[in-house]
Amino acid sequence: MLEFGSMAYDKTQLDLDWWIPDGSDTPMPYVDFSDYVPANDWFTDGEAERHIRHEDRVHQLRSVKRYRVREHLIGSTKHERYYPVLRYLIRIYRNPSFHLFILIVPCLLLSLLSLVVFWLPPDSAAKMMLGINIFVGFFVLLLLLAKSMPSAIKNFPIIAYFLLDTNIESNGVGTLSFSTSIHFPTFHS
């Protein structure tokens, strides 16, 4: 929400109104998206209607013209002053395809691959290498998730819990493989 207004001039001194575009007689109570460049991470409600006349827009939120009421004491009497405010509302949505194809699908594939580790014989060196590679893959995805999330989040994302749990599982498989290889040494000559 964007608010434009004055705290110094009331409605008798300043009249805020919407912009009237060229070729139209009615003011435009919407955010102007004519110069908007679409992004990959976000999309807005006005992005699809940026080439439509503002009279025909249906998806974008309409802006509101309001007045802030402030009481001022002049002498011993109270006077109310009305300050004009234009309030523009913009809905911004996150595009989920980045998280779906870059984080969630690789996590699911690595989780399926971690099941393969249990099919390998315990004294196999490939079991340890596969467990370590899966751990590194999950760790890289966790770093990518930490970099793509905002720095001041209130709740820890569910996918981060999943990545943390699978990292712990990969550590367990690696430790199991290491302890098995120490307990059952095989010497090749």
What pTM, to 2 d.p., does this model score?
0.48
Cα–Cα distances in Å, from 66 out to 4, 7, 12, 80? 10, 13, 14, 15
What is the per-residue pLDDT across 139-174, written as a single tens digit (0 to 9) for each?
888 888 778 777 666 777 787 888 888 888 888 888
- How many Cα atoms sit within 13 Å of 25 on the Cβ side? 0
Torsion of CA 47, 50, 51, 52, to 10 degrees: 110
- 107 vs 144: CA distance, rounded Å: 12
Helix (H, G, I), strand (E, B) or coil at 9: coil
What is the per-residue pLDDT across 29-86, written as a single tens digit (0 to 9) for each?
777 777 777 777 778 877 767 666 666 776 677 778 888 888 888 888 888 988 888 8
